[in-house]
Structure 1
Amino acid sequence: MRPDDSAELTGDAGGTRIQRERREAILEAALEVFSRDGFRGATLDRIALVAGMSKPNVLYYFKSKEAIFLTLVDRIMELWLAPLRAMDAGGDPVAEIRAYIRRKVEMSRDFPRESRLFANEILQGAPRILPFLQGELKALVDEKAAIVGAWMRQGRLKTLDPHHFIFAIWATTQHYADFDVQVRAVLGPERSGERRFEEAARFLEGLFLG
């Protein structure tokens, strides 16, 4: 069923305003479903229900469940990698690492569903994004690990394996998104509010830079 959006034509490459809004509604619903059920557990019927649309309407905008998923992953990876790309070889190492840690904690606070969607894909063996992991992601991490390694050789950071240093930052910061229920349960009601992210950031800064 083709939506009649002719009255809302804007002339840009993204289609009409209504078409863009419906695409965004589908992606928002899919993010909710994929982050909870994973790719295998998610269905187009469920995504359509959450989006408040019919399944044929969803398929007008996206040809398959995988097309929706890959659109979301593309967005997530741009978001996720921006703080690492921002790491500046000419900056102060402590300030650069501190900024990276803090931004990663903020992302766990602000984008928990995106983190869980990505984690679910990795746990399934990354069948849909493995080329990206082996290509663009590896190249970026290698580049930034070389910067971190140079800082370490200069004595400006403690000498460690720079790749595992980055992995450890990922693991500890994303823990606050992927295991949020556990974190809140263990901290208890007195410490499980929004301030837990600030506490986490300060602790991790001390852990990696102390």
Structure 2
Amino acid sequence: MKDTPEGDRPKNRRQSSATRAETRRATEAAILQAAETVFAEAGFGGATMQLIADMAGLPKANLHYYFATKEALYRAVVERIFQIWLQAADVFDAASGPAEGLGAYIDAKMEISRRYPNGSKVWASEVMHGAPVIQDYLETTLRDWTRGRAAVIRRWIAEGKMADVNPEHLLYMLWASTQHYADFGHQIEVLNGQPLSDADWEAAKRSVKDIVLRGIGVH
């Protein structure tokens, strides 16, 4: 057998390392997707690592290799949806006013409800049970984020760009309105007679934005 030229070996090692990294990312993504589904349907107490492994199509031992405990996996699921929500709010910092900032935020949050409904359900269930696992998120990152976005809204109010409303309650209402499409998706499907189509989702986004922006005096 012919030896591999010395100069090719580092390249082969790099390719092998890159392949392993891609495989690991794909496996972690599959695990998180499966875990979101199981936690959303069974709750933290009813979920088991075996159920999640079965859903992901992996041996249970492989699941424990990536996440040692159910709590570690649960926190990863919660952190993922939380980070996705935080990224959606980046539009606040660059927006010139509420029409652009809040409009884009509503669009992003509605799209997240469409793409990650189970993640939203896991978060909602956790908070409704008093946040026994993620209380630290509420007391630190979420509190800081809310204060920062409320300050932006207060600036828009001071600049005369929107009505003088309570920023915190405006944010709570936005969360409730947009996440309703994930947390109560089954109810919406029943009332709609079928799952929302692409056109339905676009119409829903327009409606929520129109109601909110008109309500705060932005036209």
Q: Is the 8 A contact 1:85 1:140 kept in 2?
A: no
Contact 1:101 1:173 in 2 (8 A): yes
Which structure 2 residues correspond to residues 102-121 of structure 1 after superposition, within 5 A? 102-121=107-126
CA deviations 1:96-130 (Å, max 9, x no partner) are 11111111111111111111111121122111111
Compute the displacement of 1:66 (Å): 0.8
Determine which of 59, 81, 92 is the counterpart of 1:87: 92
Query: Does residue 36 of the first structure (1) align with residue 41 of the second (2)?
Result: yes
Aligned CA distance change for structure 1 residues 160 and 126 (closer, same or farther; 3 Å): same
The one-letter amino acid paired with 2:157 is M
Which ranges of structure 2 fall in alignment gaps of 5 or more residues? 1-12, 215-219
Name the SS for the 1:53 alignment partner: coil
1:89: how far off?
5.9
C-alpha distance after superposition, 1:137-176 (max 9, x if no partner): 1111101101101212332111110011011000001101
Contact 1:115/1:177 (8 A) holds in 2: yes
1:27 aligns with 2:27: no
Distance verdict in 2 for CA 1:149–1:16, change over 3 Å: closer
Root-mean-square deviation (CA), in Å?
2.3
The 1:186–1:146 alpha-carbon spacing in structure 2 relative to 1, beyond 3 Å, is: same
**TM-score (normalizing by structure 2):** 0.83
How do residues 1-210 of structure 1 correspond to structure 2 at under 5 angstroms?
10-11=16-17, 16-88=21-93, 91-189=96-194, 192-210=196-214
Structure 1 residue 187: Cα displacement? 2.3
Alignment partners' CA distance in 2, 1:25 and 1:93? 37
User: In percent, how many aligned pairs have the same letter?
Assistant: 35
Tell me how far apart the structure 2 counterparts of residues 18 and 110 of structure 1 sit (CA, whole Å): 23
Aligned with 1:132: secondary structure?
helix
Deviation at 1:94, TM superposition (A): 1.3
**Residue segments in structure 1 that go unaligned for 5+ positions in a row:** 1-6
Q: Normalized against structure 1, the TM-score is what?
A: 0.86
Q: Which amino acid aligns with 1:108?
A: S
Q: Which moved more, 1:48-57 or 1:129-138?
A: 48-57
The answer (yes or no) to whether the contact 2:91–2:104 under 8 Å persists in 1 is no
Indicate if the aligned counterparts of 2:35 and 2:73 stay in contact, CA closer than 8 A.
yes
CA distance, structure 2, for counterparts of residue 10 and residue 178 of structure 1? 41
After alignment, is 84-93 or 162-171 more displaced? 84-93
Contact 1:29–1:47 at 8 Å: present in 2 too?
Answer: yes
SS in 1 for 2:145: helix
Please state which structure has a larger fraction of its residues in helix.
2
